Amino acid sequence: MSKDQTRDLPGRRVIETGTAQFLPYDLDGPQQPEMGWLPISYDRASGNGCYLMRMEPGAVTIPHDHPGVEDFLILEGELTDSDGRVFKVGDFVSYAAGTRHNSWTGPGCLIAVFEWGKPANPK
């Protein structure tokens, strides 16, 4: 494939997730070194968009509230939710606005997270 075939087009952005550098995860409070995130379309100001989240083996999320809808898809590994339900590769999970939970992983996991429908920040 020529270099011209691999460049981004207007309105299209390609992120090679296999080689991209994940950022330290800090969306739910203090930075959690056992977790990383890769913004795809996520906008920190509005709290809407998509990102990948990688959790190392043994990582635990901080209990958090969902001001808007949070959907996620398990891409690798598995994730256990606060009620004990284990999510595996291919499971798509949706949390309604106003819900609260936390999760942990034994083997580690990679998830695609979609956050949307958050109320606008008051000025």
Q: What is the pLDDT along the chain (123 residues), one digit of tens a residue?
A: 445 456 778 888 888 988 999 999 998 888 999 999 999 999 988 889 999 999 999 999 999 988 899 999 999 999 999 999 999 999 999 999 999 999 999 999 999 999 998 766 554
Write out the DSSP string of 59-101: -BPPPEE-SSEEEEEEEEEEEEETTSPEEETT-EEEE-TT-EE
Class level of CATH domain 35-116:
mainly beta
pTM exceeds cut of 0.75 = yes
